[in-house]
Amino acid sequence: MELIILGSGTGVPSRRRGAPGYAVLAAGRLVVLDLGAGTLRALTHFGLDFSRIDLLALTHLHPDHVGDLVPFFFATHYSLGYTRQEPFLLAAARGFREFFERLKVPFGRWVEPPPGLMDLRELNPEGPDGLELPGLRLKSAPVRHLPGSLAYRLEAEGGSLVYSGDTEACDSLAELAHGADVLLCECAKPYLIPGHMTPAQAGGLAARAKVRRLILTHFYPPCDEVDVVALAAQEFGGEIIRGEDGLRVSIPG
């Protein structure tokens, strides 16, 4: 299993960091976690074909995490770029279907993938849930950000990756991440703001969950002015990596 960071930033435009998006190559499949603005183009930079996306899992519906969703749906209509024939899975918290129907009000059929191409799976926003593909398992748990926000645990090829999405430190995330090979964890700012973690809090959660490696991500600009790894290391003694766009990490590795 391999993680590729497509965007390690936020909704604030940055030359260094794109909006949130993460690609995982596992069990012969392409999984994408969140789809912030620019992530479709970022896929092409790393030699990945957007029509190969087998599973798209969305943590929540803030614009910086779904900014490329409308362009993705729109692009599925054009065979010059989108060659997929079999359905892709889209996983999101229950309530996404209503959101999707509302997208059709301004955009009409152009945001509705061709019939039979999208398999929408709504997950429980109040407790553990998940889905399975051959050789790959996705588990979800609610986290503390927006109502319906989810974190994900991906298990394949003997490895495990947990992606926090946006959240405060919480029991459900620690339980989901317990013993994971990699925790890909948001730490939006070096000081506390509602709905997010600091680097030190991310380190504390990694220690509590007993993960092998911690990758910090989802940085607002103030995080690029401090040593986020050193801050996280105050709480976590394992390997810590500062996320950067284009970073590739083998899991378990």
In the chain the first and final C-alpha atoms are separated, in Å, by: 9
pLDDT at residue number 81 = 78
From first to last of its 253 residues, the chain has per-residue pLDDT tens of 999 999 999 999 999 999 999 999 999 999 999 999 999 999 999 999 999 999 999 999 999 999 999 999 999 998 777 889 899 999 999 999 999 999 999 999 999 999 999 999 999 999 999 999 999 999 999 999 999 999 999 999 999 999 999 999 999 999 999 999 999 999 999 999 999 999 999 999 999 999 999 999 999 999 999 999 999 999 999 999 999 999 999 999 7
Please answer whether residues 60 and 36 qualify as being in contact, where contact means their C-beta atoms are separated by less than 8 angstroms: no
The neighbour count for residue 31, using CB atoms within 10 Å, is 26
Residue 44's H or E segment, with its range, is helix 39-45
Q: What is the CATH code of the structural domain delimited by 2-250? A: 3.60.15.10
Q: Is residue 78 classed exposed, middle or buried when 0-12, 13-18 and 19+ CB atoms within 10 A define those classes?
A: exposed
pLDDT at residue number 253 = 78
Q: Is residue 105 classed exposed, middle or buried when 0-12, 13-18 and 19+ CB atoms within 10 A define those classes?
A: exposed
DSSP string over 173-192 = HHHHHTT-SEEEEE---SS-
pLDDT at residue number 83 = 86
Please answer whether residues 197 and 171 qualify as being in contact, where contact means their C-beta atoms are separated by less than 8 angstroms: no
